[in-house]
């Protein structure tokens, strides 16, 4: 269940990035990135749906919140090593 929730969070962040980039681009790239954002949104929903199916009880809501809070902390705190889905590089803020 955790892997599916983490996958959903990754897909959600990708969706946000593609949706933020798309309006700044000219066609045909704008349409391409808009399509990527839509695909990532579908993937997000699929991962969450699978996680809900695997959950034995209502624990998914609690676990989703816990993992989202951890993800937010990782995104917002400086990181000495650059990672694709990590936060602010150390010394840049």
Q: Domain map of the chain by residue range?
A: 2-76
pLDDT 10s digit of each residue in the chain, 93 long?
899 999 999 999 899 989 999 999 999 999 999 999 999 999 999 999 999 888 877 778 889 999 999 988 888 887 777 766 556 666 655
Is the bond preceding 28 in cis, omega lying within 30 degrees of 0? Answer: yes
């Amino acid at each position: 269940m955790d892997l599916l929730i983490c996958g959903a969070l990754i897909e959600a962040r990708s969706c946000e990035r593609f949706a933020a980039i798309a309006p700044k681009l000219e066609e045909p790239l704008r349409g391409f990135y808009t399509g990527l954002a839509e695909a990532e949104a579908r993937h997000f929903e699929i991962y969450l749906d699978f996680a809900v199916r695997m959950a034995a009880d209502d624990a998914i809501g609690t676990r989703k919140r816990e993992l989202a809070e951890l993800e937010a902390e990782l995104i917002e705190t400086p990181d000495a090593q650059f990672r694709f889905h990590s936060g602010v590089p150390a010394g840049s803020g």
